[in-house]
C-alpha cells in the first residue's frame, strides 16, 4: 500500500493475460500459496499416533476447512470437509475422525479426512465427541447423549434425554462427564444413570484431572452475564468451589504432563459490556491460584496438550465488530505456557494486509498478528516476527513493513515500536524512538535508503542511518498519510486536512528535507505509482488521478476505477496497471486506466469475495502477489514479467531512434519503434539543460513504428539534445538546427 518506496519495473505478459479481444484468458491467473499460516481455529483434535486435525476458517465467514498434521503441528496439509459449516471434531484413538455442527449432519472419515460418510444419530445436532477404551464413541447432542459401538453406524441413547449436552469427557471405561446448562453431570455406567455433581450455570469447558478432580467453567458468551463467571473445581471428595479466572469466558481447558492446568478464554463480560479476550491462564497448584501466560489480546477457543508436553492453542475472535481481538491461528508453547509461537505452517487462512519485497525474490507478509517470510515464491512460509504475546502489546498488534535498498527489513509495531532485521528476520534490533506520539506510522524507505516515519500533525521523521537517529521535518501540512517516489528519486507525500476533507500533495527533490505543494485531491491517498519520472498516478479509495509534470508545473487529471472502493495499485514502467479492491478482487488495465479487465481467475471467491488488501511485484519482477482477508497470500501462476521485457522495451541491440533531416532548418522528425504498447516521453533540452520542448509526456503509444515531428519556432540555431524514455530505458542524441 505504498509503504515500500522502491521503483517497481517490469512488463506485463500480455500474451498470458489477454486475448486479442482484450479479455482475460480462461485459465486461472492466481494460485494459493501455503501461507502465512493463520485463521480462526474452531476446533483441534488429537488422533491415533499423534495425528492432529484442525478446523480453520474466519471469525465472520462460514467457509471452514480441515487440515491435518503428521508432525505434531509443525506443518499442516489441507484435507476435505463435506460441509463448510462444520466446527466440531472428534478423533477416535483407533483412527476414525468425526465432524459435526449445529444444524448439520454428523460425518465420519476413515481415511484421515479425504472422504466422508454421513451418519444418522437419533438425537439432534452433535456438539461434542468422547471416546472410551472399548472403541465406543459418545456424542453430546441437543437432545441428550448417544453411544455407538460400530463407528457410528448404529446408535443407542445414553441418558440425559431431551437435554442439550455441550461438552463430553471420558475419564475411564463407563466413566463420563457431561456439561449442561445447569451444571456438570457424571455417569459410571456408560450413561444408564447420571448424577449432577456441580450445580452452576455451566460454560463451555470441562476437564477431568488425573488427580481425580474435575474442572468446570461457568458462564456463557451469548446469554446473560453471571457474577461468578470463571473456573470451578470439584475435588475428589465432591466439594465444589470457585477456583479462579473470574469474569472470563473459559472455552477450553487442558492439563499437561506436569499436571498443570491451562484455561483458554475468549473474553469477559459484565453488566457494562464485553472487554477484549485475555488469552490463556495457568494454575500450577491444583487450581488454588491462576496467572495469565498469554497470548495477550487474543481469543483462544481450544487447547490441546500433546504427549511431548507441548501445548497447542487454537485462537479465534467472535466477530470483526464485536470488540474482541483478531485470530492468530494455531500457537504452540514448549515451555509450560511462558511463550507462544505460531505453529500453523500450511494453513493459509490468515488475514493478510501488508506485503514487502526483499532482495532475491524474498517476500514478507504481515498477516493476523505476525510477520512471515517466503524465500521460494510462497511454497514455504516462516514466521519471523511477532510482538511478545505475553504482554508487550496491550492491544492487538498491527505491523507496518518496509525494506531498505540494502535488504534490511523494518517493522513498526502498532505505532510505538520500530525494529530492524539485517538477516531476513532471523534476528532483530529495537531502534530508538525517543518521541511520544500516538500517531507514528512507517511510511517507507526512499531509493536513497532514508527511512521515513509519520510524526505528529504535519511532519515526518527521517533517518539516514537505518533508524539509529532521527530528524524532524515539517512538510507544511498534515498529518502525512502516504509517501512514494519516482524513478528519478523524487519523493511525493500526501497530507490530509480532516477539517476540510482535502489531501494535499507535495514533492521533494532533496530526499525529503524540503517539500513543495503540487496540488490537492479530495480523498485519502493509498499509494503513489510512477512508471516514469514526472508521470505517475495517485490512488484514493474511490478515484484514480494522473499526476504529470510539464515545464516545472504539475497537472492532476481524473481517471476511471473499476470498482467503488480500491485499496492498492501497481503500475509497471510499461504502463500496465494492477488494482486491488476490497469488494471485487483484482483488475488490470493496459491503456492508462481508461478501461479495466477483471483478473480474478483463481482467487478464492466462493460464497462472497475475500477482500484484496495489498499487491506486490517481487524484487525479481517475476510474480505478482496479493494479500487477502482470510486466504493469506495468493500468487500469479505464471510470471507476469518476461525476461526480454525486464531488460527493456528498447533492447540494447535495437536500432536507435532515427532523426531526419538532421541538421535541419524548420522541422526535424524523431522515428522509433516500440516492441509493445507503452507510455512514451520525448523531451528536448538546450545545452544548458533547460527543457525547451515536451513532445510526448507519458503518452500511450501502440507497438510498431512511430514518428514525432518538432518545429522549434522562436528558438535560435544551434545544438539541442533530445531524450526518449520508454519504460526505464532512456536513449537520446543531438539535433542540430541551422
Q: How far is CA 111 from CA 47, 73, 79, 108, 135, in A?
A: 12, 19, 10, 9, 17
| Cβ atoms within 10 Å of 66's Cβ, excluding its own | 26
CATH topology of domain 651-737: Immunoglobulin-like (2.60.40)
Mean predicted confidence (pLDDT) in 68-97:
90
Q: What burial letters (b/e) apply to 638-661, b meaning 16+ CB within 10 Å?
A: ebbbbeebbebbbeeeeeebebee
| Cβ atoms within 10 Å of 349's Cβ, excluding its own | 32
* Residue 559 confidence (pLDDT) above 90: no
Cα–Cα distance between 137 and 641 in angstroms, integer? 56
pLDDT band of residue 297 (cuts 50, 70, 90) is low
Cα–Cα distance between 622 and 206 in angstroms, integer? 52
Strands 156-157 and 167-172: unpaired
pLDDT band of residue 128 (cuts 50, 70, 90) is very high
Per the document, the length of the chain is 738
For residue 281, the model assigns a pLDDT of 92
* Residue 50 confidence (pLDDT) above 50: yes
Looking at the chain, the domain(s) classified CATH 2.60.40.3080 span 651-737
Residues 6 or more apart whose Cβ sits within 8 Å of residue 109: 96, 97, 98, 99, 115, 116, 117
For residue 298, the model assigns a pLDDT of 75
pLDDT band of residue 312 (cuts 50, 70, 90) is very high
For residue 170, the model assigns a pLDDT of 92
Cα–Cα nearest to 68, from 97, 38, 101, 39: 97
The per-residue pLDDT for range 624-646, each reduced to its tens digit, is 999 998 889 999 998 776 544 44
Cα–Cα distance between 79 and 32 in angstroms, integer? 15
237 sits in which H/E element: none
Q: How is the chain split among helix, strand and coil, in percent rounded to 5?
A: 0, 50, 50
- pLDDT-wise least confident of 130-139, 204-213, 286-295, 634-643: 634-643
The CATH number of 40-342, from 1.10.10.10, 3.40.50.10950, 2.130.10.10, 3.40.50.300, is 2.130.10.10
Q: How far is CA 226 from CA 118, 217, 250, 262, 324, in A?
A: 38, 12, 13, 22, 19
pLDDT band of residue 573 (cuts 50, 70, 90) is low
Looking at the chain, the domain(s) classified CATH 2.130.10.10 span 40-342
More confidently predicted of 123 and 81:
81
Amino acid at each position: 500500500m505504498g509503504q515500500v518506496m522502491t521503483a517497481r519495473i517490469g512488463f506485463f505478459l500480455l500474451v498470458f493475460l489477454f486475448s486479442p479481444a482484450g479479455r482475460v484468458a480462461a485459465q486461472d491467473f492466481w494460485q494459493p500459496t501455503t501461507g502465512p499460516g493463520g485463521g480462526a481455529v474452531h476446533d483441534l483434535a488429537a488422533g491415533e499416533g499423534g495425528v492432529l486435525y484442525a478446523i480453520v476458517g474466519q471469525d465472520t465467514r462460514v467457509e471452514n476447512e480441515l487440515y491435518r498434521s503428521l508432525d505434531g503441528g509443525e506443518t499442516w496439509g489441507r484435507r476435505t470437509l463435506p460441509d463448510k459449516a462444520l466446527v466440531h471434531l472428534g478423533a477416535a484413538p483407533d483412527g476414525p475422525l468425526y465432524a459435526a455442527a449445529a444444524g448439520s449432519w454428523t460425518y465420519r472419515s476413515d481415511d484421515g479426512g479425504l472422504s466422508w460418510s454421513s451418519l444418522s444419530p437419533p438425537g439432534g445436532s452433535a456438539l461434542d465427541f468422547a471416546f472410551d477404551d472399548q472403541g465406543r464413541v459418545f456424542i453430546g447432542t441437543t437432545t441428550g447423549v448417544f453411544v455407538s459401538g460400530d463407528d457410528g453406524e448404529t446408535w443407542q441413547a445414553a441418558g440425559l434425554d431431551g437435554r442439550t449436552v455441550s461438552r463430553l469427557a471420558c475419564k475411564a471405561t463407563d466413566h463420563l462427564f457431561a456439561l449442561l446448562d445447569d451444571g456438570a453431570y457424571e455417569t459410571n455406567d456408560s450413561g444408564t444413570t447420571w448424577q449432577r455433581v456441580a450445580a452452576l450455570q455451566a460454560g463451555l469447558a470441562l476437564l477431568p484431572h488425573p488427580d481425580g478432580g474435575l474442572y468446570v467453567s461457568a458462564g456463557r458468551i451469548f446469554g446473560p452475564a453471571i457474577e461468578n463467571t470463571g473456573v470451578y473445581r470439584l475435588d475428589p471428595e465432591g466439594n465444589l468451589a470457585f477456583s479462579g479466572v473470574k469474569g472470563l469466558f473459559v472455552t477450553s481447558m487442558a492439563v499437561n504432563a506436569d499436571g498443570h492446568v491451562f484455561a483458554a478464554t475468549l473474553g469477559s463480560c459484565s453488566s457494562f459490556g464485553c472487554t477484549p479476550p485475555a488469552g490463556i491462564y495457568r494454575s500450577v497448584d491444583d487450581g488454588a491460584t491462576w496467572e495469565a501466560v498469554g497470548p495477550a489480546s487474543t481469543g483462544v477457543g481450544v487447547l490441546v496438550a500433546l504427549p511431548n508436553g507441548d501445548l497447542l492453542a487454537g485462537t479465534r475472535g467472535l466477530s470483526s465488530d464485536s470488540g474482541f481481538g483478531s485470530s492468530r491461528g494455531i500457537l504452540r508453547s514448549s515451555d509450560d505456557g511462558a511463550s507462544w509461537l505460531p505453529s500453523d505452517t500450511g494453513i493459509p487462512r490468515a488475514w493478510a494486509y501488508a506485503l514487502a519485497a526483499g532482495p532475491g525474490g524474498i517476500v514478507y507478509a504481515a498477516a493476523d498478528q505476525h510477520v512471515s517470510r517466503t524465500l521460494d515464491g510462497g511454497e514455504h512460509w516462516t514466521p519471523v516476527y511477532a510482538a511478545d504475546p505475553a504482554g508487550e502489546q496491550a492491544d492487538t498488534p498491527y505491523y507496518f513493513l518496509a525494506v531498505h535498498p540494502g535488504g534490511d527489513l523494518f517493522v513498526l509495531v502498532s505505532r510505538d515500536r520500530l525494529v530492524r532485521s539485517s538477516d531476513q528476520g532471523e534476528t532483530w534490533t529495537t531502534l530508538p524512538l525517543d518521541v511520544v506520539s500516538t500517531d507514528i506510522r512507517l511510511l517507507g524507505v526512499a531509493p536513497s535508503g532514508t527511512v521515513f516515519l509519520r510524526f505528529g500533525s504535519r511532519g515526518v521523521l527521517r533517518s539516514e542511518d537505518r533508524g539509529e537517529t532521527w530528524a524532524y521535518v515539517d512538510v507544511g501540512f498534515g498529518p502525512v498519510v502516504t509517501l512514494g517516489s519516482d524513478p528519478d528519486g523524487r519523493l511525493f507525500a500526501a497530507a490530509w486536512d480532516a477539517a476540510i476533507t482535502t489531501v494535499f500533495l507535495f514533492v521533494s527533490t532533496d530526499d525529503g528535507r524540503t517539500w513543495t505543494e503540487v496540488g490537492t485531491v479530495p480523498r485519502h491517498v493509498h499509494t503513489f505509482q510512477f512508471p516514469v519520472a514526472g508521470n505517475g498516478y495517485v490512488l484514493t479509495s474511490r478515484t484514480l488521478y494522473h499526476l504529470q509534470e510539464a515545464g516545472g508545473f504539475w497537472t492532476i487529471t481524473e481517471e476511471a476505477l473499476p470498482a467503488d472502493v480500491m485499496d492498492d495499485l501497481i503500475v509497471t514502467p510499461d504502463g500496465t496497471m494492477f488494482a486491488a479492491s476490497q469488494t471485487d478482487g483484482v483488475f488490470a488495465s493496459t491503456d492508462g486506466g481508461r478501461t479495466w479487465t477483471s483478473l480474478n481467475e483463481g482467487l478464492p471467491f466462493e460464497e462472497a469475495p475475500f477482500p484484496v488488501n495489498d499487491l506486490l511485484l517481487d524484487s525479481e519482477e517475476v510474480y505478482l502477489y496479493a494479500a487477502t482477508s482470510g486466504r493469506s497470500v495468493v500468487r500469479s501462476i505464471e510470471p507476469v514479467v518476461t525476461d526480454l521485457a525486464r531488460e527493456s522495451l528498447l533492447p540494447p541491440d535495437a536500432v536507435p531512434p532515427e532523426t531526419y533531416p538532421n541538421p535541419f532548418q524548420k522541422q526535424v522528425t524523431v522515428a522509433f519503434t516500440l516492441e509493445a504498447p507503452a507510455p512514451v516521453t520525448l523531451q528536448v533540452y538546450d545545452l544548458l539543460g533547460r527543457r525547451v520542448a515536451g513532445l510526448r509526456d507519458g503518452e500511450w503509444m501502440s507497438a510498431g513504428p512511430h514518428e514525432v515531428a518538432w518545429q522549434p519556432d522562436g528558438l535560435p540555431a544551434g545544438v539541442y539534445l533530445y531524450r526518449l524514455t520508454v519504460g526505464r530505458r532512456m536513449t537520446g542524441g543531438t539535433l542540430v538546427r541551422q
